[in-house]
Structure 1
């Protein structure tokens, strides 16, 4: 470090080569007065004489120590000298500052980024410092590589990958992107702003995805989500699927499923690719009450391009629930269709549907064929309840009329039981009777023939348990049991035991026990597995765990924890998502979450309309329904519906004051006529 002592003088003069020659001539005159003279701290003075534009600098500088008076002469440019002196001065200032306390001031100009972008855009428009030319269609756009690489991983990879484009001065997109769309992307790159409207949103999304302007792609997807309509939902479905826009895809699917009667008659439907048409027509949540509409849509899709699509007829027929078609239509229209009879595989499918239809009409056992399985929108909703918590009646929920209609009395009134539907039948298991005795009984209600029957009793009497259907079998999970005659020996201990019921064999068997015994847990099935959420543990604590049963391995696991300790909650399944709502705390009573059966991740959804403890939930179509429950002294008197596409709840109807719902199930709804 060069330390300049006090009272030293540094003089710098700048001479030209011509002036030095003149200095050697007779009659030499002294140089003109300095045009720059500055005084520096500590009585330092620097004089710079500039007779000509270019010159050689002669530096006369005092020694860098206080006891030396020698001088040295260096040849430096003005810039080099300035830098040298700046370094010395700065090092000197640093040494002075380090002896005392350090004051810090952080300067930030919020408008700096915008002003830099504005200036860069101005340079682009003037073609200053641009180093690459982009071509699209008949137009060209000069740009700066650094700007493009900074806002697009596509351009970053292009310019740094060592390929031909990394050194080329021009990039030609030809017809792969419209020049107006490229111009919008470049405007965004240089200004951080772009106007999205109905005319450009889809093209911008495609171009943003191709050139990896992720912010543009996401902004366009959000714009299209807000502007979804039955008239464009099929197009949005294809667009979102091609460009991995997850939320737009989910919303588009929901709208296609709920507006199938309208969209199946459009050209967009007829132009769907094979895999998309099959996925749509086979969807469990396709909203149509008349399967004839699906059958006719399948044939129309085939006939739209018969030569190329004729081979896909068996695949399309499998998407139709043929056994749910009216018997007359199945026999007189479907079985006589020339197109079907010309293909052996297609004819086999129709013959199987006829056999299943006869079995349904004759009430000849359980029909498990896929062609006889109703879609979720073809399900009937049943409530079980009574004037007290002792349940004595079964009610039908008419979703169209928004009414709750009494259907049948329960032969043996009970409370703290569990109810589950398999096909067209409702199974009521266990519970406590009027004398508080714990029951093993299983009552079955046939919704087609509207009659009750008794099935084989459970192996363990229990109450406060959960139940769910899995692969056409009934499972009962956890709960409490009687004080004597069964295990465990105390009614205060939550059960670990799990039982499986086969309706065809009318037989119960024990399967693997829970990892931790629970009662009052929410139990559902999805993706060929059982899930139990929360509940009361054997130590009377709320269990904040998710327990999962895999029937293939006959083993329970704990794949996740609950967002909060839960008991007296309700759960229902929409697609691959499990929705859990309600509970016995101030917070859980009004909250709702969804749980992915694939990733085991939780997501908070919209809160329910009222606080609910011990409420009941069921899914129908693409919506979720919740009824019953109470909190404190307040009973919940509404039947509420949750729409996942809107993430919102609304009340459908009011439950009669005399009805306290204690179970809620969804059964198949066959229309045999």
Structure 2
């Protein structure tokens, strides 16, 4: 049977498939396993290259030399492998919620009794399946890792991705196959012959000791008689068989409940009226888990509703147990009815499990093809290492992936239409993409016509352009792809010099050919936006020494020195998500009054102007419902904006407890249930699917209470209170933990405290900041918490009573939750009291606010970049400035066109 080939794009994308196939022909499986474990990534491995001819293709002898050289280099070294478990929960539209576990290191070199290192077994197949040549390769591989020289050359990052609820998914598919009588190989019948059902022996053997023991006896008998052979036709006795349940009074009622349990983990038909029939069937088949449920049913006096609910919650756990039992059958080669003969090894499996996971195998085994009658199926286009990984995924929902193997395994998944493993491969490519691999991902996605993955990879490359442009793979980009990046509004660069350096590096990789495209590439660079110092570097670049580029250099120099830069000229960059400003309050020009706001503004684009000038392009999004408010809180949950509490003006009765939700896709507002208490100057965080409103100021004074909002029930409930009342504090979630920082306490003393809060267990004190702070911003960024702005309290100089004075806080510091310590970073240049804070694309923004010294508004937006460790001015606010709140929200494209 021919492999089902995925659709490939025309042109150079065909090189991708040819490259994989060529590597498969050049390398044996065991040699390739060595490469997957030991080799470092090759530069430009998957990127299209229009460079020199000698760099386009690797000759066979070059490949062999490199492998030999690598082996010689690694001989006597210890290779360490790092593994991380990642659980992936699939939701609608392929949105994944990835929960990362703790790192753990696996030392792959273990020692034998003589102190030599031996390679641990990683295959789940016995060595008897290997021929003599395979054994020799395996011994070579072991010899290669036996000597110990002490030093570690490097680490290979391997991550285990797990498909959440996989057991439920595969058993649902198996149920569908059984209902359609597809690949059912076991016929169960009662002694009287009145009840006959067809099932999958592997599924029933996972719960039934009778079926499992019978399968094992059949394996031993057929092995001794030599019935199993590697011929074309499959022995009918191996293909299907029957089993009579004997004289135990088994009827269709009890048998139906046992089979329901085998395929779903549930026993909805078990009740007081049927327990005896179910017990008889479970006893006949040897199903101890159902017998235990029968005993529980007999002893329980709870209502049928409660029992049904308990069984429902228990079903998922039972399916997990059953899936592990089927995996044990595979490891023991019990009931395996097919052997897949791949390059390097022959791997046993159960046809029904393969068919449940792969449309390729389902078509092969169920549509009358010759492979449906064969015990051994030849798959000469697959390596056993890749097939082994996919078979393991079919039985467990787990897939071990690294950048050394993910492209090959993904290609195999597409070829075999292996959906569970394919979804995990795509999760890996989306979640683990980085500057070194994004161009590989883009090339792969383009070759296989994977539009969404291609868009993600291209977008990543443009938004991390400076780091990507420093990689070797960048120099291998085709000219059309580079021009696409340079002309895109998604190109994120700090200055035009970054673009110039990238273009020069690309041209230098193949100057003979690419210098012809230099003028076209240079037109994408806005040279007038550079500073004089930056343009001096442009002029000093030796690339202009080439004869054909000299006229271009002179023209650029004239344009830069003579032409004035129009105010409208800038490089426009559109972030994927947008900053949305909500409400706030603004002082009049004559300082005579203040005006509260209902406005919503969003930052449509970020702009680089001439020199170091930057700005945000603000657009009005609309208005929130009455009343206008400030000192409120905002949060984003499931793509929707929540606006909660605050105050309408400065009176005691102006504090609010109302809450609204904004849907940006529908551009609609919905009023929600009011909070239990009125709050302003408080904090709201998102913890899971819940909003948590913490502390704040209210009519009776500073609050100690905490409220939780459940969107599903549209209700607020009190949680464990704070240890002390707080207002003007800041709270953020980092690693699913709530951190609460600073603020004023019940006596309105400014605090330097940092606490860890949990809605059920309350607060735990952590290390204090270097000084007290309130009305500040705190944001999570890069595994740390960044604190900026606000006010602090100092002792007034010369005061005999050492009276405390409240002043603007310009100092900034960051908190490391692992070390439980604070570190200062560059202070702000101007005050930001009651400012909005947010993190956008790895940088901290502090927006607006006021100065405590004279109550004047601060109209500026400042941005801190942890990479450069400095603040920069990115323009002015659009309107309201003080006690404003900011959120990151995804807006529909039509608003940003």
TM-score by length of 1: 0.44
Structure 1 or 2, whichever has the larger Rg, is: 1
TM-score by length of 2: 0.35
